[in-house]
Amino acid sequence: MRSGGPLRWLFLDFDSYFASVEQQEHPQWRDRPVVVVPLEDTEAAGTGAIAVSREAKALGIRRGMRLGEVRAVCPGVHVASARHEVYVAWHHQLIREIERHAPIDLVHSIDELSIRLGRSQGRPKAAEALARGIKNGILRNVGECLTCSVGLAPSRLLAKLAAEMDKPDGLRILLPGDLPDAIADLPLEEIPGISRGISRRLARAGIRDVSGLWKLAPKQARAIWGSVMGERFIRALHGEDVDPPPPGPPKSFGHGRVLDPARRLPETAWPVACMLLLKAAARLRRREMVAGALTLSVRWLKSSGDAEGHHRHGRDDAAWEVRFPSTSDSFVFLRHLERLWSRCGRVAHRRPDPRMRNIYVHLHALEPESARQLDLFAQTDLKVRERERLWAEIDRLARRFGSRTVEPASLKHLDLKYAGAKIAFGRIPEAEDF
């Protein structure tokens, strides 16, 4: 439905979301600098901040700073270890409140969402009234610390940009007549969709500011981006209501963890890797898909020279992959993970420091379960079907009685609280993921 005015999109961005939730749950931390770190060991100086409150930002503390640096800037900073299940619970409360005011078009991440404005909401006064109603509803019905910044604009891209221009707790309207002057002073890297790689491509084309970007023809942008995304970007920047096509089926299912210090060696991290794989496999089956490949990736705690037998993604990264006939059988996945883990262990023990910081497990080479061809008269395929039905029943029990109702005996004594911090910022976990 086309808007009755120049505004078509509302973009909402929660301010310092993880840190704000911690302040909401700890009244004594309100109006004080707070950082959130991924590990239970909040005293480890090398731990990096994954979220920073507005009070800490005002002191110059930024996301990614090591805890030692943070304490040097502000010795009295409050440090919280990440509690993703808590952030997800608050997220769903916020979603319920926002949907009282308007239907949500898309939840982009745990702290961002967008709303397509209806015909009666497209004029500035009506759109602003909606935005303020959402803000007041969150204040009254959810929590005073959970503020948000809102952008209103003709395109979703401009609405997101508007929200980022007026933080925290801001409200910015970008009208067609405001452009490009309202955004002319922004660095290119601050415009959503301009990555470092695209910025370098633009620079090679002689474009180093918003003025030059604004003058790009859509066909020129397509050539610079190397895809139709460049053309869509320029048209959206000019205020056209151009959205990319809806996302296709998932290309992979995966999970990652920052490891607790007690689980950084291969022998102690193995149960965590199994747990991550079983979660990914359960999500795969929920979508009625099968996988034909498994990748294990690790990030080592310290730098060292190249070790033979692994593929380098960066100075401290390694990854291994195995392919197999498509299946959704977790027993098959675990068997292949064990092979990859052996390779990881051999590399680890050749390193001066074998400890791992992060591990990631991904199932990929996906296809719908219905598209897979099996020989129903082959004994092996009959066994595959039987085991897949077994895992489907295990999934059903997990949904009804809890995610750990049935699990391998080797994981029974694994305390998830100390398994490490979840790495889940762009995906909103489902209840059974915890």
The residues facing 173 across adjacent strands are: 152
Residue 411 CB neighbours (<10 A): 15
- The greatest distance separating any two alpha carbons of the chain, rounded to the nearest whole angstrom, comes to 70
Task: Decide: 357 and 334 in contact? Cβ < 8 Å.
Answer: no
Beta-carbon-side half-sphere exposure of residue 358 (alpha carbons within 13 Å) = 19
Q: Is 243 exposed, middle or buried (0-12, 13-18, 19+ CB in 10 A)?
A: middle
Residue of 25, 69, 112, 240 marked catalytic: 112
Long-range contacts from 124-128, C-beta under 8 angstroms, 24+ separation: 124/5, 124/6, 124/7, 124/152, 124/173, 124/175, 126/5, 127/5, 127/7, 127/10, 127/152, 127/173, 128/152, 128/171, 128/173
* Residue closest to 20 by CA, chosen among 135, 111, 95: 111
- Peptide bond preceding 325: is omega within 30 degrees of 0, i.e. cis? no
Cβ atoms of residues 115 and 12 within 8 Å: yes
43 included as an active-site residue: no
Rounded Cα distance between 53 and 19, Å, is 5
DSSP lists the bridge partners of residue 172 as 151
32 vs 327: CA distance, rounded Å: 51
The answer to whether the peptide bond before residue 408 is cis (omega within 30 degrees of 0) is no
Which residue has 């996906």 as its token pair? 366
Q: Are strands 148-153 and 78-81 parallel, antiparallel or unpaired?
A: unpaired
Are residues 294 and 343 in contact, defined by beta-carbon separation less than 8 angstroms?
Answer: no
| Angle between helix 330-348 and 379-401 (nearest 10) | 90
**Active site residue ranges:** 112
